[in-house]
Structure 1
């Protein structure tokens, strides 16, 4: 009796599986792209963009949200002279934080320019780079605008720090460099 019951159950399951398969009707998939996704290779040509593979750039003339304002002066000798003569700090005396400026200066500038601004940083002492002038050299008429412009774009062997420092931090470093310059001139 037990054996025949097992045969009946197995036969019933087999019949139910076979009876559900029907070749005359199509097999529908709920989300076919999930089952058979399109395989893309890295940097392959694509119809997703008009000019092939490219980054999504913001519309021309737009400014990101927040306090960001674009720096309009160009990275040319004329732009440097324009910044040197016309650019002034937007920070008033209550917004200048010399402690923050010193911390940022020590991280980004002191390794070359020295912690006192005398052009004797660790890389200069170890002769890894040469020719970093002191802030009080007679031939260097540095101003607020020229300091900011050089931090933003870089000059000669110094690279740009626009990606490492945001606008407010750059102005804090400018204020600290001016303080160092004044201390050296005493």
Structure 2
């Protein structure tokens, strides 16, 4: 009798499962784009970018996270204005000399030299010429002019705005001012 009850229960379960399956309609797919994704080939034409652009432009009026606008233009007038107005937001307690020295050595020392005398390794090897010393006569540099040059570059020196954050740029500016004071002694 017990075997008959077990066989009956198994038969009822089998019939109920097969009766729910209807071959005439497809099963419902939850999030079908996960199952059948669109395949893209590298470097293929795409209509994701309008008007033949290589990248999409951000929405007008948006500002990147961590971005602070720099209100001085990349010309002589902007340089002179930055030299006259721009002051470092760092005070003496915020100046981290070991970190600033490390940043200066990485980004500036190769050309300007570790002491700021314009005798970096590239100058000594004559790969580039005319790198000025920070204490050259007629070069009245200050915090604003140094920051402007780091931000935009000048002459054969390129911009370092993409390599250094705003706070790191001001650390380097403070370190350059320290080197300038050491050279003038």
The answer to whether the superposition gives a TM-score over 0.5 is yes
Residue 40 (1) aligns with residue 37 (2): no
Q: 1:133 offset after TM fit, Å?
A: 1.0
1:146 aligned residue: 145
Write the distance in 2 (CA, Å) between the matches of 1:36 and 1:168.
Answer: 47
Contact 1:43 1:53 in 2 (8 A): no
Residue 76 (1) aligns with residue 75 (2): yes
1:60 aligned residue: 60
TM-score, normalization: structure 1? 0.76
Q: Which runs of 4+ in 1 moved over 6 A?
A: none
Find the residue that maps to 1:175 and give its secondary structure.
Answer: helix
Over the residues paired in the alignment, what is the CA RMSD in angstroms?
A: 2.5
Write the distance in 2 (CA, Å) between the matches of 1:47 and 1:29.
Answer: 30
Contact 2:153 2:160 in 1 (8 A): yes
TM-score, normalization: structure 2? 0.76
Q: Deviations over 1:30-62 (max 9, x none)?
A: 265445433333454444454455534433333
| Change in 2 beyond 3 A, CA 1:172/1:33 | closer
Write the distance in 1 (CA, Å) between the matches of 2:137 and 2:119.
Answer: 17
* Structure 1: gaps of 5 or more residues: 1-19
Write the distance in 2 (CA, Å) between the matches of 1:37 and 1:95.
Answer: 51
57-66 or 45-54: bigger deviation: 45-54
| Change in 2 beyond 3 A, CA 1:100/1:73 | same
1:162 aligned residue: 161
Write the distance in 2 (CA, Å) between the matches of 1:32 and 1:89.
Answer: 55
Q: Deviations over 1:100-120 (max 9, x none)?
A: 211111111111101111000
